[in-house]
Amino acid sequence: MYLILLSIFVPMAAGLCLLILPEKNIVRARLLSAVSMAYLLTAVLVTAALTRCYDVSYTLFHLTASLPVCFHIDETGVLFAALTLIVLLCAGFFSFAYMKHEKKEKRYYGFYLIVFGVLNALCFAGNLITFYLFFEILTLTSMPLVLHNGSREAIMAGLKYLFYSLCGAYMALFGIYFIWKNSSTLAFTAGGVLHMTTGGNISGPNSLPGAAAGGNTAILLIAACACLLGFGVKAGMFPMHAWLPAAHPVAPAPASAALSAVIVKAGVLAVVRVVYYIFGPDFLRGSWVQTAWLTLTLLTVFMGSMLAYREPVLKKRLAYSTVSQLSYILFGLAVMNVTAVTGGLLHVLAHGFIKAVLFLVAGAIICTTGRTRVEELRGIGKEMPLTMWCYTIASLGLIGIPPTGGFISKWYLAIGSLQSNTPAFAGAGPVFRWLGPVVLLVSALLTAGYLLPLTIHGFLPGADYDYAHLQKREPSPWMTVPIVILTALSVLLGLFPNLLTDRIMGFVSTLM
Amino acid sequence: MDFVQNFPCFSVILCLFAGILSSGLKDKAAMRVNTCLLGIVTLLSGATLLYTLQTGQSFVYVMGKFPAPWGNEIRAGVLEALTALFFCVIMLLSLLGGRHKLLEEVESGKTYLYYVLTDLLLSSLLALVYTNDMFTAYVFVEINTISACGLIMIRQNGRTIEAAVRYMIMSLLGSGLLLLGLCMLYDLTGHLLMSNMKESVARLAATGQYEIPLIVAIVLISVGICIKSALFPFHAWLPDAYGYSTVSSAAILSSLVSKGYIFLLIKIIYRVIGFDIYGDTRIIDVLFAFGLMGMIFGSLSAIKENDVRRMIAYSSVAQIGYIYMGFGMGTEAGMTASVFHILSHAATKSLLFIAAIGLTDVSGGSRKFIELTGAGYRNKWAGAAFTVGSLSMVGMPLFSGFISKLLFAQAAVQNHVKMLPALIVLGVSTILNAIYFMKTVIRIYTPVGYSAYPSITFVKMRVYAVTLVAFILLNVILGISSQPVVDMIRQGLAMFS
Amino acid sequence: MGPNLFINYGEAVAMLLFGIGFGNLLLQSNLIKKIIGLNIMDTAVYLFLAEKGYIAGRVAPIVSDGVQDMEAYINPIPSGLVLTGIVVSVSVSALMLALTIRLYRRYHTLDLDEISRQLKKEGL
């Protein structure tokens, strides 16, 4: 069980050491080799922890008498931890080449490693208070990645990220507080920890004296809403998504990849834990909280795609795309039946890989050509064919064209939504049954609209393109290899999904 | 009677004697005497704490051979000993941390006066904590005021003298009200010892005799102490006094002096008037309302500030509002939360002041934010300490601020009427705190390309760095293992009345 | 309450003086007048205490003519409290006056608002 602690604290310690070391006398090659060793060590530790410490619980210390800080690896944790590991490793190696022309590299790698450790801690957290603790630490330690290049724009974006996240965290704390009062433990248990008496009323050992029988339920629903909105800030749900398009363009590309692919998934993980492991879907199904949540997610899906479609700067476009895609996942979670949740969790993986590819490609483009706007990128496909092929394949995945991973997840999401009003899966109102797939379809069309022009104009720039000055500018292998790996993974996810889907469906049904 | 029972009396008298002795010594000698004194008194308080924890009850120590109700008494329980220990530790660390600035800002040849004043201040704080007699409390309140005034104006520039004058005016207003209320209470009950007064007051309240004079006396005492501890709206003197005096004064004033008065108020509520009777007078509703307003206005004023030390001073106003909000809940849990916040705030606020001075030192002495950009890189220890203090203020888990907020929330939930405003204002003020503290933290860590100011290395400021580390450790310990402290506070409050 | 105010006219006057002193301390802008207000306020409290200690028909609590009976003397405690209070009042008045001298030497005015204005101009 010490593997759990090591896999969390080794990268954090490595990052801290890097930060504290003085700035001068750093040979770049040595720095990079030290960082790679740290990455590989962490990878080994995490894999070991996942395989050998599965289903092991470990309490670190007690914050107060009734609030322990403990870790516990379960299926959900395995899923998110695997995603974190793969994406952060790839983006990490990508940044070796990308950061060559940025300054203060050491600081970047230091915070990157710390964020790695904190994300591991989040995946392995065993109860809500541990999760909240590391959630706050995540906000604080990922902020320096956002404002890395120190320009005024970056600082404003970093501040915006910070304040949105802090406000969200406090809203969630409000909800957590009421949960604590109405349950005997905050540990993550499949199916929820609230006490249900016969008749479906909630009572707890610390119920407010004199509260009416239904009173607790009302407060708990409000607490659930607060938690969803609060953690939804991190996951970019409308109306608290405004930090995403501000933070992504200013961060260095590998940091944007990490942000979009993994750090926002922390918000998704929070929602999964709160809804399925603390409240339990039975409590929320059919309530106004679920209806509101479904409405917000569908609204975000549509709105994110629309805003992406109209955005000229490439990285900002991808940021809006993240907003939209995350709400696909949240929609799946909100429908609360086995198929939809499976679809959501599959999309966590698929979107993680795909979005990482897209951002890394954007980074490669910026690195080699220095251009950030889509309209300037005609003919880029001829200059960087391998990279742009990966981009195309990833885009197809995001749109949802078989046989990529994105198709599988969207399929499950749509089926889950259609099934949502049969008696076996009672849940969301009749409207959402067909509204969900419709919005998903429209959004898929918009996704094609905002992702494919780059491909089309890149490979087929038209007659007026200046072929004489074309030069092959494939980026270095440090950049291309991670991109290819991630693309390959996203395709493999689509070609051989059954192994994964069966496993996920298996444990999701235990949650219902 | 065990020897340990003498320790509270010894502590007070030792401090007084040390003050008198230091008035004849040179600077260095006075400083050494002061540090020794603080060390000894810390040990004495620690021993008393252990003793009271062991016996599980508070003990009464009669001064001289005159028994109650004619003589003077000292009473020590878990809460008093814990508070005394804490005050000593914070004062020691504040003095160590601000020592280099003291030597800079005060003319040599006059620094011994500063140590005389701190000795007297410590004696008055300890006496306020331990006393069981109302008039002794008043006398030591006045000694406290005078020493604090001296601490503010030891650094001679126009701002500090004006701040000292304003401080004295407000403080004397408060003292006058306190004295008047005290005299009325003496008149009604005929006693000056707190335990005897409590029996009389209980009898009066039961029969309903002299109802209005009793309420007036209670109101006068409460308002007097509120004015002295800078509750909103009586906080106007605070930003000037904390902002411009020498840094160890600011740290001591913000952490200890106002908390001494609040501790006295707690003592009066529990031991003179009785918790239930005090609750019946509805004064706690007024305290609650002012506490909430202080939380909001203090934070709003802090956001508008352009000077880092005044910003921290306004943050003090907000934190004192928190403590009075805890009072206003009118429950045991609220009091526990307030007392924990007294300890936590004392640790954090002095940390912030001492760290801030390190940052301004590497920015050419200027306190304006624009000059502080990048100071975190020039003075790494101060930057790290300031970050820890800010995170604690904002309520990050792992630091003491989170535990205080948790305790306040728990207390709020128990009181149906006040729950919603308390929780809402708690949330809003946390966000406001985050705004100005996090903005400052980001600013001190924003790298500047070319810095006009030199950096400071560890070798040059050993004592300062060690003090900062001690403060950080204190904060983190309070944050991580708060349960024993909270238990001690609860136990202490139970045996307090 | 009306007749009580006349019977206890001493206490009533003390309260009035307290109010005057408090108001002066708070509202006057001239420092010397503030200090005078402070003294009036404190003296009022001592008057109040002295009144409270007085019992009609008895003498000051100094043993005279060998009379040791408690019933012959007024309550001695308020006198002790007043003595202590006077000492406190003298010390704080001295401190305030010293501060006033310092401020006067620097800013050549006794008006606290004027001093604040000058400080703002100094821009310290």
Tell me the CA end-to-end span of chain C in Å, nearest whole number: 54
Asked if pLDDT for residue A471 goes beyond 80, the answer is: no
Strand partners, A68: A62
Judging contact as 3 or more Cβ pairs under 8 Å, the answer for A and B is: yes
Residue C122 structure tokens? 């100094």
A158 closest CB neighbour out of B396, B430, B442: B442
Q: Give the tens place of pLDDT for each residue, A156-201.
A: 888 888 888 888 888 888 888 888 777 767 777 776 666 543 333 4
Q: Specify if B185 maps to a domain.
A: no
The C-alpha atoms of residue B85 and residue B76 are separated, in whole angstroms, by 12
What local confidence, expressed as pLDDT, does residue A470 receive? 67
Residues of A in contact with B438 (CB under 8 A): 159, 162-163, 166
A133 closest CB neighbour out of B397, B423, B434: B397
Q: Specify if B119 maps to a domain.
A: no
Asked if pLDDT for residue B371 goes beyond 60, the answer is: yes
B190: nearest CA partner in chain C: C77
Residues of B in contact with A158 (CB under 8 A): 442
B380: nearest CA partner in chain A: A20
Residue ranges of domains in chain A: 285-512
Q: What is the CATH number of the domain that holds C42?
A: 1.10.287.3510
What local confidence, expressed as pLDDT, does residue A197 receive? 39
What local confidence, expressed as pLDDT, does residue A26 receive? 67
Q: Give the tens place of pLDDT for each residue, B248-299.
A: 899 999 999 989 999 999 999 998 888 888 888 788 889 999 999 999 999 9
CB-based contact B162 C103, cutoff 8 Å:
yes
Pick the range with the lowest mean pLDDT from A188-197, A219-228, B199-208, C64-73. A188-197
Judging contact as 3 or more Cβ pairs under 8 Å, the answer for A and C is: no
**DSSP per-residue string spanning C59-123:** B-SS--TT---GGGB--HHHHHHHHHHHHHHHHHHHHHHHHHHHHHHHHS--BHHHHHHHHHHHT
Q: Specify if B110 maps to a domain.
A: no
B212: nearest CA partner in chain C: C1
Domains in chain C, number: 1
A61 closest CB neighbour out of B394, B403, B480: B480
Chain C contact for B168, CB < 8 A?
yes
**Closest among B82, B109, B94, B231 to B151, alpha carbons compared:** B94
Contact residues for C101 (Cβ-Cβ < 8 A; gap 6+): none
Coil, strand, or helix at residue B75? strand
Residues of A in contact with B486 (CB under 8 A): 64
Residue A382 structure tokens? 């001829």
- What is the number of alpha carbons within 13 Å of residue A358 lying toward its C-beta? 34
What local confidence, expressed as pLDDT, does residue A382 receive? 78
Number of H helices, E strands in chain B: 23, 2
CB-based contact B398 A133, cutoff 8 Å:
yes
- Tell me what the pLDDT averaged over chain B comes to: 88
Question: In terms of residue numbers, what domain contains C90?
Answer: 2-122
B442 closest CB neighbour out of A64, A155, A170: A155
Pick the range with the lowest mean pLDDT from A10-14, A425-429, B213-217, B350-354. A425-429
CB-based contact C34 B169, cutoff 8 Å:
yes
Chain B contact for A147, CB < 8 A?
yes
Asked if pLDDT for residue B189 goes beyond 80, the answer is: yes
Asked if pLDDT for residue B217 goes beyond 80, the answer is: yes
Residues of A in contact with B446 (CB under 8 A): 150, 155
C102: nearest CA partner in chain B: B161
CB B219 within 8 A of CB B282: no
User: Residue type for A498, please?
Assistant: N
CB A160 within 8 A of CB A243: yes
Asked if pLDDT for residue A204 goes beyond 50, the answer is: no
What local confidence, expressed as pLDDT, does residue A427 receive? 57
ipTM: 0.93
Asked if pLDDT for residue A38 goes beyond 90, the answer is: no
B470 vs B449, more confident: B470
- Tell me what the pLDDT averaged over chain A comes to: 81
B454 vs A276, more confident: A276
CB-based contact B183 C119, cutoff 8 Å:
no
Asked if pLDDT for residue A319 goes beyond 80, the answer is: yes
Name residue, tokens 């950080």: B472
Task: Catalogue the E-assigned strands of B54-119.
Answer: 59-63, 72-76
The whole-angstrom distance between B70's CA and the closest CA on chain C is 10
Subunits close to C (at least 3 CB pairs below 8 A) = B
What local confidence, expressed as pLDDT, does residue A24 receive? 66
Of the pLDDT bands very low, low, confident and very high (cuts 50, 70, 90), residue A463 is low
Residues of C in contact with B142 (CB under 8 A): 88, 91-92
- What is the number of alpha carbons within 13 Å of residue B295 lying toward its C-beta? 25
Of the pLDDT bands very low, low, confident and very high (cuts 50, 70, 90), residue C101 is very high
Q: Specify if B131 maps to a domain.
A: no
CB-based contact A133 B409, cutoff 8 Å:
no
The whole-angstrom distance between C49's CA and the closest CA on chain B is 7
Residues of C in contact with B180 (CB under 8 A): 18, 45, 48
Chain A contact for B420, CB < 8 A?
no
Contact residues for A447 (Cβ-Cβ < 8 A; gap 6+): A305, A308, A321, A324, A395, A398, A399, A400
CB B18 within 8 A of CB B34: yes
Judging contact as 3 or more Cβ pairs under 8 Å, the answer for C and B is: yes
Contact residues for A422 (Cβ-Cβ < 8 A; gap 6+): none
CB atoms within 10 A of CB A162: 24
B200 vs A500, more confident: B200
**Closest among B434, B449, B89 to A139, alpha carbons compared:** B434
Q: Would the CA dihedral through A41, A44, A47, A50 be positive or negative? A: negative
CB-based contact B183 C52, cutoff 8 Å:
yes
CB-based contact C106 B158, cutoff 8 Å:
yes
- Most confidently modeled of A6-20, A311-325, A373-387, B171-185? B171-185
CB-based contact C107 B173, cutoff 8 Å:
no
The C-alpha atoms of residue C100 and residue A439 are separated, in whole angstroms, by 76
Average pLDDT of the segment spanning A399-403: 83
Of the pLDDT bands very low, low, confident and very high (cuts 50, 70, 90), residue A55 is confident
CB A452 within 8 A of CB A398: no
B154: nearest CA partner in chain C: C99
Show which of residues 62-101 on chain A sit within 8 Å of chain B, judged by CB atoms: 62-65
Chain A contact for B406, CB < 8 A?
yes
Residues of C in contact with B145 (CB under 8 A): 92
Q: Specify if B309 maps to a domain.
A: yes
**DSSP per-residue string spanning B340-397:** HHHHHHHHHHHHHHHHHHHHHHTTTT--BHHHHTTHHHHSHHHHHHHHHHHHHHHT-T
What local confidence, expressed as pLDDT, does residue C124 receive? 56
Subunits close to B (at least 3 CB pairs below 8 A) = A, C
Asked if pLDDT for residue A215 goes beyond 60, the answer is: no
Asked if pLDDT for residue B4 goes beyond 80, the answer is: yes
Q: Chain C interface, mutation test: which of B159, B180, B188, most C Cβ atoms within 10 Å? A: B180
Q: Specify if B442 maps to a domain.
A: yes
CB-based contact B438 A166, cutoff 8 Å:
yes
Q: Give the tens place of pLDDT for each residue, B401-442.
A: 988 988 888 888 777 777 888 888 888 888 888 888 888 888
CB-based contact B403 A64, cutoff 8 Å:
yes
What local confidence, expressed as pLDDT, does residue B337 receive? 93
CB-based contact A64 B438, cutoff 8 Å:
no
Residue B106 structure tokens? 């005060």
Number of H helices, E strands in chain A: 20, 2
- Most confidently modeled of A430-444, B61-75, B347-361? B347-361
**Closest among A113, A118, A284 to A191, alpha carbons compared:** A284
Asked if pLDDT for residue A424 goes beyond 60, the answer is: no
Chain C contact for B244, CB < 8 A?
yes
Cα-based angle A173, A176, A180 (whole degrees, multiple of 5): 140
What local confidence, expressed as pLDDT, does residue A199 receive? 34
CB-based burial label for B481 (10 Å; 0-12, 13-18, 19+): middle
Residue B169: C-alpha distances to residues A89, B172, C18, C104 (Å) = 64, 5, 15, 17
What local confidence, expressed as pLDDT, does residue C20 receive? 94
Of the pLDDT bands very low, low, confident and very high (cuts 50, 70, 90), residue B12 is very high
Cα-based angle A171, B414, B318 (whole degrees, multiple of 5): 60
Coil, strand, or helix at residue A364? helix
Segment (H or E) for A68: strand A67-72
What local confidence, expressed as pLDDT, does residue A2 receive? 76
Residues of C in contact with B146 (CB under 8 A): 91-92, 95
Peptide bond into B397 cis (omega under 30): no
A210: nearest CA partner in chain B: B416
The C-alpha atoms of residue B183 and residue B134 are separated, in whole angstroms, by 10
Of the pLDDT bands very low, low, confident and very high (cuts 50, 70, 90), residue A465 is low
Strand partners, A127: A187
Residue A486: C-alpha distances to residues A192, A394, A409 (Å) = 35, 9, 17
Residues of B in contact with A211 (CB under 8 A): none
- Most confidently modeled of A414-418, A493-497, B316-320? B316-320
Predicted TM-score of the model (pTM): 0.85
Contact residues for B228 (Cβ-Cβ < 8 A; gap 6+): B141, B145, B170, B171, B174, B175, B178, B258, B261
Pick the range with the lowest mean pLDDT from A188-192, B202-206, B236-240. A188-192
Contact residues for B152 (Cβ-Cβ < 8 A; gap 6+): B160, B163, B164, B167, B241, B245, B249, B253
Strand partners, A297: none
**Closest among B337, B492, B323, B318 to B410, alpha carbons compared:** B337
Q: Give the tens place of pLDDT for each residue, B106-151.
A: 888 888 899 999 999 999 999 999 999 999 999 999 999 999 999 9
Asked if pLDDT for residue B329 goes beyond 50, the answer is: yes
The whole-angstrom distance between A148's CA and the closest CA on chain B is 10
Asked if pLDDT for residue A209 goes beyond 60, the answer is: no
What local confidence, expressed as pLDDT, does residue B442 receive? 82
Pick the range with the lowest mean pLDDT from A226-235, A372-381, A403-412, B386-395. A372-381
Domains in chain B, number: 1
Residues of B in contact with A210 (CB under 8 A): 416
Chain B contact for A158, CB < 8 A?
yes
Coil, strand, or helix at residue A501? helix
Chain A contact for B427, CB < 8 A?
yes
Asked if pLDDT for residue A30 goes beyond 80, the answer is: no
The whole-angstrom distance between B259's CA and the closest CA on chain A is 25
The C-alpha atoms of residue B130 and residue B127 are separated, in whole angstroms, by 5
The C-alpha atoms of residue C56 and residue B139 are separated, in whole angstroms, by 29
Show which of residues 453-482 on chain B sit within 8 Å of chain A, judged by CB atoms: 480-482
What local confidence, expressed as pLDDT, does residue B82 receive? 92
User: Residue type for A512, please?
Assistant: M
Pick the range with the lowest mean pLDDT from A22-36, A37-51, B144-158, B278-292. A22-36
Q: Give the rounded percent of residues in chain B with a pLDDT score beyond 70.
A: 98
**DSSP per-residue string spanning A155-187:** HHHHHHHHHHHHHHHHHHHHHHHHHHHTBS--B
Q: Give the tens place of pLDDT for each residue, A328-377.
A: 899 888 888 888 888 888 899 899 999 999 998 888 888 888 777 887 77
The C-alpha atoms of residue A161 and residue A169 are separated, in whole angstroms, by 12
Q: Give the tens place of pLDDT for each residue, A124-133.
A: 888 888 888 8
C22 closest CB neighbour out of B142, B162, B176: B176
**Closest among A183, A18, A181 to A115, alpha carbons compared:** A18
